Amino acid sequence: MGQQAECTARFGGRVSTGKALLESSALIFRGDFRLAIPFQAIESVTAVNGELRVSFSEGTASFALGPSAEKWANKILHPKSLIDKLGIKPSTVVSVLGVEDANFLRQLGERAAEIADAKPRNDSDLIFLGAERTADLERLKGLARFLKKSGAVWVIYPKGQPHITQADVMAAGKKAGLADVKVVGFSSTHTALKFVIPVSRR
């Protein structure tokens, strides 16, 4: 999940107090008016005297965030890469099952120490499981035994589809004895949901 803060926002002559949310790919405001500003639509960002000013295709919005304004500006200007959001480091041992996203696989190949595909490797730090249908979630059941105790499984599934929902993925993870801990935007079409072995079973 992203960061959030109560603040006063100004946009198009309107002023409202509400909640600002800094997600992985968009700045969102919910108050008397609502805004959703994708990072890709942002033309400039500045932080002045605790006020975050964001110019984008529809105009300029400002958010009174106090000391957080500069940090938010930096995160908008320098967003984490997908590989960073997924926690992949140069020493990471990764298993990839059924994930065919070319951009992800390219970045993974440039970063991870070892990559196994088709079959999970013992003592994996991270396992990425592609699930296009609920039937694919059955593969979650036996994956914990291939993880290091501190490892995790990321399930990559289509976003906004009725045939496989976040609730389906979370239920499958729980059934497999795993705990869900994080969600990130994987791509424009897919979401990634992270599962770990519960602390009581490590």
CATH number of the domain that residue 140 is part of:
3.40.50.150
- Count the neighbouring beta carbons within 10 Å of the beta carbon of residue 11: 20
Same domain, 104 and 68: no
Q: Please state, in angstroms and rounded to a whole number, the distance separating the CA atoms of residues 186 and 157.
A: 9
Q: Identify the residue whose tokens are 């932080």.
A: 47
Same domain, 86 and 105: yes
Same domain, 138 and 87: yes
Same domain, 56 and 128: no
Q: Are β-strands 51-56 and 42-48 bridged in parallel, bridged antiparallel, or unpaired?
A: antiparallel
Question: Distances from the Cα of 164 to the Cαs of 17, 29, 117, 181, 182, in angstroms?
Answer: 36, 28, 23, 19, 18
- Count the neighbouring beta carbons within 10 Å of the beta carbon of residue 167: 8
The pLDDT of residue 1 is above 50: no
The pLDDT of residue 73 is above 90: yes
Both tokens assigned to 16 = 């409202």
Same domain, 193 and 103: yes
Domain count, the chain: 2
- Count the neighbouring beta carbons within 10 Å of the beta carbon of residue 21: 16
* Domain extent for 181: 82-201
Average pLDDT of the segment spanning 160-180:
96
Average pLDDT of the segment spanning 140-155:
95
Same domain, 55 and 114: no
Same domain, 59 and 100: no
Question: Which are the contacts of 127, defined by CB distance < 8 A and separation ≥ 6?
Answer: 94, 95, 96, 97, 120, 143, 146, 147, 151, 152, 153, 154
**For the chain, what is the mean pLDDT?**
94
pLDDT digits (tens, 9 = 90+) for 129-140: 999 999 999 999
Among residues 32, 51, 77, the one where a domain terminates is 77
Same domain, 94 and 65: no
